[in-house]
A = this chain, B = another copy of it.
């Protein structure tokens, strides 16, 4: 018969003790709480965030293998640290699951989690486990950022240029392909394989975030505001504009996306989707879970911004628009300039579990 100690033991086996944490972790997993020695933090602040990964809301246990669920759960949460310009340091895992998943499923879940933790350089310092009728994961992450250098959503000013890293819409396309029965191994295009990979293993922009925050010893902060594209461009840019009390104008033709990739050709045959630019744009605007960084840069700095950075395994930076004055009375803060040059208000239509979920 399995009990909580067995569950904790199975998770801990994937996280062998490492010397590196000993400097600042006084008490780790196994006691009532973890205890951190703050002497090593110097001129850095602590950044804390928490993120849900819920079965049937954020993942589907029928199409997501346990390793992927574990990897993505930590990646989702850590992306919030990247958006603040913070270096990830530790996390706490709250895991609730069916008893029937407390064996091999749990081992594979913990392996995926541990893989992400190694990649992001994070220590598991505590958590809580419980039986539950569905899988529920809540991860709290902690990181460090130079005092006063954290990137907020509220710093964008009129005239600032809007940039985004990587491509948008790829993760949404990847999810659609998986939902249609596609496998990474099946006969699909390179773009489609890339999209599936982006969905299953999002690339968290940790290095880019730190660079934008001016993490280097004498570095100045480069971005005036930042957010990660977890819910979708239309929603996340809306959050940034609201917090900064500004508006934004973005250009459809400048949004970086996988133009040639097409979904829905598997199992069903919505052939009209094939090659359609409007679908790719829709995914780029409203598809979530790309975990790219959306940030603003003062006009003078923007001209000097490289188009490509070496951090995070190579990341492109694309200018997609500019910050404008907020228009009173308008429902939307964002103006989308279409391919033909027409201006339309862009409403937030990204991911919101309260609108689309249970």
Binary per-residue interface labels of chain A (240-251) against chain B in the complex, 1 for a CB within 8 Å, 0 otherwise: 000100000000
User: Across the interface, do B3 and A57 meet the contact criterion of CB distance under 8 Å?
Assistant: no
Known: A45-B37, A92-B48. A32 touches B357 (CB 8 A): no
User: Across the interface, do A358 and B47 meet the contact criterion of CB distance under 8 Å?
Assistant: no
Alpha-carbon distance A274/B99, docked complex (angstroms): 36
Residue of B nearest to A44 (CB): B38
Segment 141-189 of A: residues with Cβ below 8 Å from B: 141-143, 145, 147-148, 150, 152-154
Chain B contacts for A49, CB-based, 8 A:
32-34, 92, 126
User: Across the interface, do A45 and B35 meet the contact criterion of CB distance under 8 Å?
Assistant: yes
User: Across the interface, do B130 and A52 meet the contact criterion of CB distance under 8 Å?
Assistant: yes
Contact of A131 among B86, B99, B129, B353 (CB under 8 A): B353
Chain B contacts for A141, CB-based, 8 A:
33
User: Across the interface, do B84 and A52 meet the contact criterion of CB distance under 8 Å?
Assistant: no
Chain A contact residue count (CB 8 A cutoff) = 76
Chain B contacts for A83, CB-based, 8 A:
32-33
Binary per-residue interface labels of chain A (54-89) against chain B in the complex, 1 for a CB within 8 Å, 0 otherwise: 101110000000000000000000001101101000
Interface-located stretch among A23-31, A253-261, A308-316, A324-332:
A23-31
User: Across the interface, do B133 and A31 meet the contact criterion of CB distance under 8 Å?
Assistant: no
Alpha-carbon distance A132/B353, docked complex (angstroms): 8
User: Across the interface, do A150 and B358 meet the contact criterion of CB distance under 8 Å?
Assistant: no
Number of copies: 2
Residue of B nearest to A82 (CB): B32
A302 on interface, CB distance cutoff 8 Å: no
A2 on interface, CB distance cutoff 8 Å: yes
Interface-central residue, A2, A86, A132, A357, by most chain B CB under 10 Å: A132
A339 on interface, CB distance cutoff 8 Å: no
**Nearest Cβ on chain B to A143's Cβ, whole angstroms:** 8
Known: A27-B152, A131-B358. A37 touches B147 (CB 8 A): yes
**Nearest Cβ on chain B to A147's Cβ, whole angstroms:** 7
> A-B pairs with the 6 shortest C-beta distances?
A138-B138, A131-B357, A33-B49, A131-B353, A32-B83, A140-B140
- New contact pairs (8) apart from A50-B128, A56-B133, A128-B138, CB-CB < 8 Å: A3-B355, A33-B48, A35-B145, A49-B92, A50-B138, A50-B140, A99-B358, A131-B357
